[in-house]
Structure 1
């Protein structure tokens, strides 16, 4: 099969079937028609396309989507229909433009092509031999099939895409996890909640089928925080922001409280946001008997707003409460484990159980609901669960720590970041733990796999990026560059660390070290799939101040020079992005060794022609550059840029009428994004992962692909 997907291949096959083989004898024409089926045959590594020229001679065009497919296809065709029957000697041969069949084939952007010429006397024998080759390849096992990826790797990649706002890519991972039955339906729903919350799609969360069941199920604290935030944003945000107590209270009681009450346990989730705290406040207002909530809301006036003046006084229980016995503490800890899916809750339960006598432990094992919960804690009793990233990194060298990635995925939401990020001792301890983990192969492997979770944890810092944390950002970026995860593709989260380091500020030595890490990440000969990543990093450097201008100039020139050898293989949008960057740097493509007009045509320009495309970004220079690049390859496209800070009539018109709407995820206002989503309905809404114009072009290309 050739083409980006099965639908593209089917379109090509339909177009090719319109060409007649009336100049051939009926038997040969029938065999040619069967060979066209290779275009859509997923088991065939390429395609064999018959082509009758103006003189009536028959030749076969050979095409493969990758060089790997060509290496599989070429020797088989040579064995079945080599020089004894045809002209084919197994070598590549470029196709000459001008022939309509060739133009259709080149539309698929094949990585390798060849031509097989058939003499008239051996024509039928050669065609029959090629059909036998097709049948043989269809039955052959695919020895190039990739090994199955562990679920933990897929979840790490899912987090990686969420870190940078690649919604479509994250959705694809979620669909794969679901289709391959990797997780149960409840955990799939929790991942969907995480995805929707990342893009502030609170209406989507509340509208999920089975939302009420999610509020009752055993959840992680992070999911609880997201569900509460969604309830607040959908039902209460408007009247609460207006200070309308007469409307807010009945709305809470009717639309929110039935769902929220099962989730209002303590301690409150570490990641609880403003809306969640306000729901706790409303519950305390309506139910003064919940003195535990009232005590938890002390010193939360900054997020509670006007509701803080209506709360009952937080009065501790009269008298001194009796000190709980070790058995009582263990019971409470086990109840928490049963109610909440939390690493810290399990760690606390294990610590409480360790203080019991053998008789007390036997009493717990003999009674429900503790018997079932103890079966869970028994499995983790020998692990000594970590309660911070420093402890997690210290355990990564232990072969028995097989749940490392699962704990890292939960720890990113449960382990505190604010206090440690401002403490030089804690920062140094974490940096030392990262350095120590790199001295052990197993620890390095596990840390490399957990990098997206570490980056997500760092982004929870309200002051991210902060200069005190630059040693951590730099150590993680070095792991991205040199760690074993690099062999499975560069994580997009590395872009976040590059931006954080440039924003926080670097001295000359650190700046040059950052450039070295990026060059290591990119490699000496990166491929087309990394071009957008490289261009986005380049834009980050151009936006940030440079402590060493010469080093930046050399780095940027080197990046574009590395792209030059593969320029002809870039898509039209990638070529437009590179041209714009070179122009902004004051260079020309010719100065990089690129000839004018080079590059194979693709269908992106034709698919964009005539479309109305809206771009929303507060980085207006990026919007303008993206507009110019799109109009360069598709002059009939209408591109509108917008940077309004809230819902305006113009922004509404764009949301309702644009064929494609691109929103820069890192450079947008929440009020505007919510407004756009509300008026966009089911029309395509694309999220660009960076602030630059190459991110905008990438979002459009990913959608069209």
Structure 2
């Protein structure tokens, strides 16, 4: 045994534990205790084994409970799932994750040794503990035969980054944190790239104030040539935090003042170039910035105004900004204005002024430098046109400038080759997406640019039904390229899928994204959650029979592969999503029923592990699907309650549930009030911080935040009102996920 292990084992096997380490080391512990202890000590002594640490607690020579901890904190969820799969709640009268506040000295010893969550569990009586001990002996022997890894293989950065982006799309902070740590652990990322990931992590989770108030982070990053996504995240965080409320009030003078005080005055270099970003708040920020110049550039303002939704252009505040008062009719010295902007690192402005003025070697050279910084296809095309009209002056450029221009052209032009489809010219805003999709069909498998969702015009594809269908059909080939699919799926989802208002032309794209996710091997919980999210978006948008049946077929195929107790909440949430929404036809209802019957059939194999809330959910779903609950056998038998399902008395307690999925909130309320007589359950779905929401978060004994279905304004309101108390965070939107999270919290 490693000396480092002996140090904490000597502390663990001392009072209040009824067994001393000295008795273990000299072999004089009771035989019944040795039988359940020795296999786990043997596993612990094998440093190549990555299995958990599970040790008994002894009173009067008898084992009365156990403590368990993962050797690697990242494997805590796996340990919880393992214990639940091995025992189920029916075998345990107590199973809980300990915290520092519990003042459990034995748990504290293990927590300090392994830096992870420590679980403690036991049976209802000596007989139950004897059965648990026998099962743990079998588990230890099984883990001892598990093949050891001879080397740790680090996954490719692209695969990890794809999963990281998927987790952020789902606001899954737990998995995103794990994946971020994995990216950091690779050791191949620079300090700048690690900072970029931290910004993306906060922005992806909607933690905008954490970015906006981190002055030195923004100040440091603003001096760098930022990737467009990072630039977009920083400016959006600043806008949301400092300008959203002022814009809503419609006070232009206050907006300009706050913009200067909090944003442009502090971080002027963020506005060197928009670099093709189309994110609404970023476009607004650059509009305000240009409007505030002594000589606003009308072309820049016009181009930015075209990127805003029509409703924003028509409102009085941005209507004024988009149509500034004409300046005095004085001659403009374009070269001088361009040089001032260039020297101030205002490259968008400098480029426009250089192209508006007469061609000269200096202006051409600086225009090339501006275009290299801006680095978009549109600017490259305009520069090429400008240079074609000044061939004589172009010859005077230095070799270095010519190389820069050639490199720029190489990045943003694509030569025609035979019958290969050529991307539309820069004037066609759908060109980037369609060009990439057509390349896929031609066997040219290029990764999507990481910033495609914010720099390429997805709206142009969605507004053209033919283009949308072509794009949907083309991305289907991603199902045969796992690594490219991992990278592309979150980017395509972010660009084309809006869970609040999915447009009709996006449905074929969404269905093909589901298909691409479904065919991947080794589906993770993040993958399943993303599949669920897209499915819910599709169901809410309304589908034809063909679309509905296609989606059901995909979900059935996935359930066939992943059906297990650990994924039961996903299956139940999916069945509920189909049940609460109208099916378009009898054929669609038949397909929906087929999926539910598959979930029932698969669950029969682990029915003995089901908890009361899961059996109750099956009863509710049986009514939804018109099935006699008694025909489902043990899946719906709520009269039988195992020892581990003795629920605490919550009479007089209050449970608050925040969710934007009304049906799930209503169902969860009904189920919880049935399971916990006397409990008060209140459901809230306010989109922003309200007094009612604040009062509920303040007064609730338990507060459920269904974070995959909620707005972030509400999140901050709730966190402030909770004053340090922990939120209950379900792993999904549906009733089953909410119930599972509450049960685990109160037990």
Give the TM-score, by structure 2 length: 0.68
Counterpart CA distance in 1 for 2:291 and 2:68 is 74
What is the match of residue 427 of structure 1?
468
Contact 1:609 1:636 in 2 (8 A): yes
Instruction: Write the deviation string for residues 44-92 of structure 1: whole angstroms up to 9, x where unpaired.
Output: 64668679999999xx9999989x999xxxxxxxxxxxxxxxxxxxxxx
| CA spacing shift, 1:345–1:198, aligned 2, 3 Å | farther
What is the match of residue 596 of structure 2?
556
What is the match of residue 335 of structure 1?
370
Contact 2:475 2:512 in 1 (8 A): yes
Q: How does 1:569-648 map to 2 (within 5 A)?
A: 569-570=609-610, 574=614, 577-582=617-622, 584-585=624-625, 587=627, 590-594=630-634, 596=637, 613-630=655-672, 639-644=681-686, 646-648=688-690
Displacement of 1:418 in angstroms is: 0.8
Contact 1:49 1:61 in 2 (8 A): yes
| CA spacing shift, 1:112–1:347, aligned 2, 3 Å | farther
Displacement of 1:189 in angstroms is: 3.1
What is the match of residue 114 of structure 1?
138
What is the match of residue 450 of structure 1?
488
> Are 2:258 and 1:251 aligned?
yes
What is the match of residue 162 of structure 1?
168
5+ residue gaps, structure 1, are 71-94, 117-129
Q: In the alignment, which of 206, 212, 232 is matched to residue 206 of structure 1?
A: 212
| CA spacing shift, 1:506–1:278, aligned 2, 3 Å | closer
Between 587-596 and 160-169, the greater mean CA deviation after superposition: 587-596
> Are 2:325 and 1:313 aligned?
yes
Displacement of 1:519 in angstroms is: 0.8
Displacement of 1:518 in angstroms is: 0.9
| CA spacing shift, 1:397–1:356, aligned 2, 3 Å | farther
Displacement of 1:652 in angstroms is: 1.3
| CA spacing shift, 1:666–1:20, aligned 2, 3 Å | closer
Displacement of 1:257 in angstroms is: 1.9
What is the match of residue 264 of structure 1?
271
> Are 2:236 and 1:229 aligned?
yes
What is the match of residue 238 of structure 1?
245
Counterpart CA distance in 1 for 2:277 and 2:377 is 12
Displacement of 1:239 in angstroms is: 3.4
What is the match of residue 493 of structure 1?
530
Counterpart CA distance in 1 for 2:370 and 2:218 is 24
2:451 aligned counterpart, secondary structure: helix
Displacement of 1:561 in angstroms is: 2.5
Contact 2:580 2:663 in 1 (8 A): no
Cα root mean square deviation, aligned? 5.6
Counterpart CA distance in 2 for 1:686 and 1:271 is 36
What is the match of residue 426 of structure 2?
none
Counterpart CA distance in 2 for 1:175 and 1:630 is 36
Counterpart CA distance in 2 for 1:333 and 1:702 is 61
Between 306-315 and 496-505, the greater mean CA deviation after superposition: 306-315
| CA spacing shift, 1:283–1:488, aligned 2, 3 Å | closer
Displacement of 1:594 in angstroms is: 1.8
What is the match of residue 183 of structure 1?
189
Instruction: Write the deviation string for residues 327-375 of structure 1: whole angstroms up to 9, x where unpaired.
Output: 97786455344466x7988999999999999x979955536xx878988
5+ residue gaps, structure 2, are 71-77, 84-120, 335-354, 417-421, 424-430
Q: In the alignment, which of 502, 510, 515 is matched to residue 552 of structure 2?
A: 515
> Are 2:155 and 1:149 aligned?
yes
Contact 1:164 1:493 in 2 (8 A): yes
Q: How does 1:92-103 map to 2 (within 5 A)?
A: 99-100=125-126, 103=129
Displacement of 1:559 in angstroms is: 1.8
Counterpart CA distance in 1 for 2:377 and 2:525 is 28
What is the match of residue 457 of structure 2?
416
Contact 1:647 1:672 in 2 (8 A): yes
Counterpart CA distance in 2 for 1:180 and 1:435 is 31
Contact 1:277 1:303 in 2 (8 A): no
Counterpart CA distance in 2 for 1:106 and 1:609 is 31
Contact 1:159 1:452 in 2 (8 A): yes
Instruction: Write the deviation string for residues 144-179 of structure 1: whole angstroms up to 9, x where unpaired.
Output: 877422111111112212223323322332233224
Counterpart CA distance in 2 for 1:238 and 1:477 is 37
Counterpart CA distance in 2 for 1:186 and 1:689 is 32
Counterpart CA distance in 2 for 1:383 and 1:601 is 71
| CA spacing shift, 1:324–1:146, aligned 2, 3 Å | farther
Q: In the alignment, which of 468, 471, 482 is matched to residue 519 of structure 2?
A: 482
| CA spacing shift, 1:361–1:61, aligned 2, 3 Å | same
Instruction: Write the deviation string for residues 112-153 of structure 1: whole angstroms up to 9, x where unpaired.
Output: 65399xxxxxxxxxxxxx9xx99xx79x98238774221111
Alignment coverage as a number of residue pairs: 642
Contact 1:536 1:692 in 2 (8 A): yes
> Are 2:706 and 1:664 aligned?
yes
Displacement of 1:414 in angstroms is: 2.0
What is the match of residue 102 of structure 2?
none
Instruction: Write the deviation string for residues 184-210 of structure 1: whole angstroms up to 9, x where unpaired.
Output: 333333333334334443211112351
Displacement of 1:537 in angstroms is: 1.6
Give the TM-score, by structure 1 length: 0.72
| CA spacing shift, 1:431–1:674, aligned 2, 3 Å | same
Q: In the alignment, which of 394, 400, 403 is matched to residue 366 of structure 1?
A: 400
1:640 aligned counterpart, secondary structure: strand
Q: In the alignment, which of 432, 436, 453 is matched to residue 388 of structure 1?
A: 432
